[in-house]
């Protein structure tokens, strides 16, 4: 109790208020504003159509567009003195040497012109009187107009300031991630030395970034070119962010958090605790500043976020959707359909991975889905009787299969960067083959290495249980159909790769609302048949006791929304800032001309394919997907095309090679995100279980080896099969 009071006073109170309330409130408002921006145009178009149906009247010549603003009284004279105006104009024409050219020298012409002006003025007054009377007879038009124009103002403001919204989101989220030690590293800091080394490297990295952005800002100011307010605001936000992060790191260095473990730690482990973001900042900062004499380099390549602000705003929405998913029972209820079959872990896992590919594609990239659902999948696979190491491997791979199918955001980015050679439709159409190839390779390897025999419950037991488990799922299917129908028929917008970032959070908010308010009515207590299934599972001596998802009933709707948004803050700060620095690393590689050392013509298509695949896998091992795609499009793709590799074939190799890299040391990003999702305690328990029960090398390190054993053959087949067997019309 005393410790809690200490934490709620002074700097501890400020830390609590910022991480618990301020940052979450800001990010939630910005996410909602991003949703409004995303749907604003289609909604506003519908509002205009509704306004026309409600208040337009063809018979009197009145349209809603005339009523969107209060009619203004004409400034002309409705009852002018015609003779005086004619005489005045004649006097003016007499002094104008060009008047005769326009035929306005005669009194008759001048009078006709004045009378025409009077007629126009009278028509303006008539329209003014008619519009005013029309609106007075329909008082609701003003209320509707206020709502419609206010919405348009918000939408217009958001559209014009999309970049500022993204940077505000990054600033708030990155500060929160730094305060909470939430940045992604190879291991979580635990000892006092870990935290000091963590803070020291963060201080150096953020200091170099601050200096780079300041250098770029002074260069722009001194260039003599007038900068827009938006441009200056972007620089100010970057400067504020990195100076603030430097100050936070300086404070954390001198006052690290209290640790329960009294162990002093070692320098080697402490270096593993340093965030990848800090290493990237140090690497790029030192080389750009002291080797290339290009101090503004980091700041310039941070502009990737500005250039692709729409992509990164969609990514933030996907992260939010992933966190909203964790606050629903959707995953648990859908998995409940499979439980009555009492499938072997390998078969169950294969079905889970196939099903997980769809939300993976809709959440933009593999890492986001791992963060959102990795813990749920880990628990389900382990409950089925599998090894903990196997369950961790599956969790790390849970997002790998879906990156090649519609509507993955990563493929959209590829089509934007390389629009001259590929389209998103082409990549998605061929990606489905890669999806099924990887899925069946996983099934084959899993069954070959399985410890237990193939098992499945009798249909007499499983089918009734499965049918009963479908009942709680039906409302979620209906909600999905209703939301998609509203967008399709109400807003004339179908759900695809472009609208998914906006529609998906709406669906999940509807899930969560139903789940928290009415979900319990659809989950009936176990009956006699359910008891029979449980008894059969216990007799099989394979299944562990199932426990439902922890977020089922602990929070109401508002609490779940707040919790999901709070979790989103840290993940946005950790992932997007890492992507920004990955783009900086890509810029460093591009500017250093290392790529120029690559042979333009390798002389043999097989050597070219092997070289490109190996290089792409190495890129995937060290950077995040979005930063890596930007790097590859600018540097490696031209080399591949010069060596005769078809663009579609090349990008299929890229996607599979990246997924191999994300599960392969030294970085293995998906494993790091799995650790964040399931927790360090579960990872340590898996390692301890493997050392205690197994003597073979594979089973001790299964969480690392299984994904590699699946994705490496997939990469080899994707790399060589299309050319060797002429499977597609790419090669003659």
For the segment 661-672, what is each residue's pLDDT rounded down to a tens digit? 989 988 888 888
Task: Round to whole Å and give the CA distance between 375 and 684.
Answer: 15
pLDDT band of 281, cuts 50, 70, 90: very high
> Region 676-690: what's the mean pLDDT?
86
What is residue 49's predicted lDDT score, i.e. its pLDDT? 85
Helices (H), 190-296: 192-221, 229-254, 267-273, 276-286
What is the chain's length? 732
> Region 32-43: what's the mean pLDDT?
83
What is residue 105's predicted lDDT score, i.e. its pLDDT? 58
What Rg, from alpha-carbon coordinates, does the chain have?
32
pLDDT digits (tens, 9 = 90+) for 153-167: 877 887 888 899 999
Residue 704 contacts by C-beta under 8 Å, 6 or more apart in sequence? 393, 663, 665, 668, 671
3-state secondary structure of 377: helix
pLDDT digits (tens, 9 = 90+) for 568-611: 998 899 888 888 888 888 888 878 776 666 666 666 788 888 88
Task: Round to whole Å and give the CA distance between 189 and 273.
Answer: 5
Paired with 57 in beta bridges are 62
Give me the residue spans of the domains in the chain. 40-157, 169-307, 320-732
Dihedral sign (CA 581, 586, 591, 594): positive
Structure tokens at 692: 């205690």
Q: How many C-beta atoms lie closer than 10 Å to residue 476's C-beta? A: 21
Closest CA to 552 of 332, 348, 396: 332
Return the top range by mean pLDDT from 42-51, 241-250, 352-361, 546-555: 241-250
What is residue 98's predicted lDDT score, i.e. its pLDDT? 55
Closest CA to 388 of 19, 155, 699: 699
Closest CA to 46 of 31, 64, 67: 64
Task: Round to whole Å and give the CA distance between 316 and 576.
Answer: 8
pLDDT band of 441, cuts 50, 70, 90: very high
Structure tokens at 529: 């048949």
pLDDT band of 537, cuts 50, 70, 90: very low
On the question of pLDDT at 327 being above 70, the answer is: yes
What is residue 243's predicted lDDT score, i.e. its pLDDT? 96
pLDDT band of 539, cuts 50, 70, 90: very low
Q: How many C-beta atoms lie closer than 10 Å to residue 674's C-beta? A: 31
Element (H, E) at 726: none
Token match 């889970």: residue? 352
> Region 298-319: what's the mean pLDDT?
87
On the question of pLDDT at 2 being above 60, the answer is: no
pLDDT band of 4, cuts 50, 70, 90: very low
Token match 């028929």: residue? 489
Whether the ω angle into residue 447 lies within 30 degrees of 0, i.e. cis, is no
Task: Round to whole Å and give the CA distance between 299 and 284.
Answer: 10
Closest CA to 31 of 501, 608, 476, 709: 501
Task: Round to whole Å and give the CA distance between 629 and 309.
Answer: 16
CA distances from 500 to 35, 218, 369, 492 (A): 11, 40, 15, 14
CA distances from 144 to 44, 46, 138, 449, 674 (A): 12, 13, 11, 66, 49
pLDDT band of 258, cuts 50, 70, 90: confident
Task: Round to whole Å and give the CA distance between 2 and 597.
Answer: 62
Task: Round to whole Å and give the CA distance between 585 and 151.
Answer: 41
Which residues in 32-45 are b (16+ Cβ under 10 Å) and which e? ebbbbbbbbebbbe
pLDDT digits (tens, 9 = 90+) for 511-520: 999 988 886 6
Percent of the chain past pLDDT 70, that is, above it, reads 87
On the question of pLDDT at 443 being above 80, the answer is: yes
pLDDT digits (tens, 9 = 90+) for 93-150: 666 655 555 555 577 777 888 788 888 888 888 888 888 888 888 888 888 888 888 8
pLDDT digits (tens, 9 = 90+) for 469-498: 898 899 999 999 999 999 888 888 888 777
């Amino acid at each position: 109790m005393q410790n809690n009071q200490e934490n709620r006073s002074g700097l501890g109170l400020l830390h609590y208020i910022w991480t618990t309330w301020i940052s979450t409130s800001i990010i939630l408002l910005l996410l909602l504003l991003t949703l409004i921006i995303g749907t604003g145009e289609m909604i506003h178009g519908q509002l205009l159509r509704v306004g026309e149906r409600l208040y337009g009247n063809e018979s009197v010549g009145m349209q809603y567009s005339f009523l969107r603003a209060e009619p203004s009284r004409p400034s002309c004279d409705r009852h002018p003195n015609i003779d005086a105006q004619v005489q005045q104009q004649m006097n003016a024409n007499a002094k104008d040497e060009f008047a005769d050219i326009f035929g306005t020298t005669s009194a008759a012409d001048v009078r006709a012109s004045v009378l025409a002006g009077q007629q126009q003025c009278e028509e303006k007054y008539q329209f003014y009187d008619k519009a005013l009377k029309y609106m007075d007879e329909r008082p609701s038009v003003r209320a509707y107009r206020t709502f419609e124009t206010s919405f348009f103002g918000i939408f217009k403001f958001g559209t014009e300031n999309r970049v500022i919204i993204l940077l505000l989101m990054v600033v708030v989220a990155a500060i929160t991630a730094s305060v909470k030690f939430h940045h992604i590293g190879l291991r979580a800091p635990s000892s006092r030395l870990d935290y000091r080394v963590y803070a020291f490297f963060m201080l150096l990295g953020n200091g170099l970034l601050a200096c780079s952005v300041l250098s770029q800002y002074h260069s722009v100011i001194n260039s003599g070119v007038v900068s827009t307010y938006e441009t200056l605001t972007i620089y100010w936000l970057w400067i504020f962010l990195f100076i603030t992060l430097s100050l936070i790191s300086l404070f954390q260095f001198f006052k690290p958090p209290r640790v329960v473990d009294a162990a002093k730690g070692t320098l080697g482990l402490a270096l593993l605790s340093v965030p990848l973001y800090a290493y990237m900042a140090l690497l790029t900062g030192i080389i750009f500043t002291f080797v290339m004499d290009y101090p503004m380099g980091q700041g310039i390549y941070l502009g990737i976020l500005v250039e692709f602000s729409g992509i990164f705003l969609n990514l933030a929405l996907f992260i939010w959707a992933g966190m909203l998913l964790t606050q629903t029972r959707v995953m648990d209820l859908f998995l409940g359909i499979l439980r009555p079959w009492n499938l072997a872990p390998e078969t169950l896992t294969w079905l889970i991975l196939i099903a997980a590919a769809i939300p993976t594609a809709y959440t933009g990239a593999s890492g986001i889905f791992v963060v959102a659902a990795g813990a749920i999948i880990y628990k389900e696979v382990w409950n089925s009787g599998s090894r903990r190491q196997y369950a961790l491997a599956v969790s790390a791979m849970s997002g790998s299969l879906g990156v090649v199918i519609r509507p993955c955001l990563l493929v959209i980015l590829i089509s934007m960067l390389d629009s001259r050679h590929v389209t998103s439709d082409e990549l998605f159409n061929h990606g489905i083959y890669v999806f099924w190839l990887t899925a069946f390779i996983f099934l084959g390897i899993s069954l070959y290495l399985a410890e237990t025999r193939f098992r499945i419950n009798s249909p007499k037991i499983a089918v009734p249980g499965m049918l009963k488990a479908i009942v709680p799922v039906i409302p979620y299917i209906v909600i999905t159909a209703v939301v998609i129908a509203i967008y399709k028929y109400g807003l004339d917008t179908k759900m695809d790769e472009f609208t998914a970032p906006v529609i998906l959070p709406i669906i999940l908010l509807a899930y969560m609302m139903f789940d928290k308010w009415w979900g319990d009515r659809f989950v009936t207590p176990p009956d006699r048949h359910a008891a029979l299934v449980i008894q059969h599972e216990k007799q099989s001596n394979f299944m562990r006791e199932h426990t439902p998802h922890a977020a089922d009933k602990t929070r109401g709707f508002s609490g779940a929304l707040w919790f999901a948004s709070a979790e989103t803050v840290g993940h946005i700060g950790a992932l997007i800032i890492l992507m920004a620095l990955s783009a900086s690393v890509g810029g460093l590689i591009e500017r250093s001309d290392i790529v120029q050392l690559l042979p333009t013509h390798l002389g043999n298509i097989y050597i070219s394919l092997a070289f490109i695949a190996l290089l792409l896998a190495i890129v995937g091992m060290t950077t995040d997907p979005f930063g890596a795609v930007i790097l590859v499009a600018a540097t490696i793709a031209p080399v591949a095309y010069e060596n005769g590799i078809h663009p579609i074939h090349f990008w299929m190799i890229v996607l599979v090679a990246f997924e191999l890299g994300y599960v392969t040391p030294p970085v293995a990003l998906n494993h790091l995100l799995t650790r964040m999702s399931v927790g360090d305690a579960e990872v340590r328990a898996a390692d301890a279980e493997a050392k205690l029960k197994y003597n073979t090398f594979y089973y001790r390190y299964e969480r690392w080896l299984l994904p590699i054993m699946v994705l490496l053959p997939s990469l080899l087949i994707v790399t060589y099969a299309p050319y060797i067997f002429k499977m597609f019309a790419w090669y003659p």
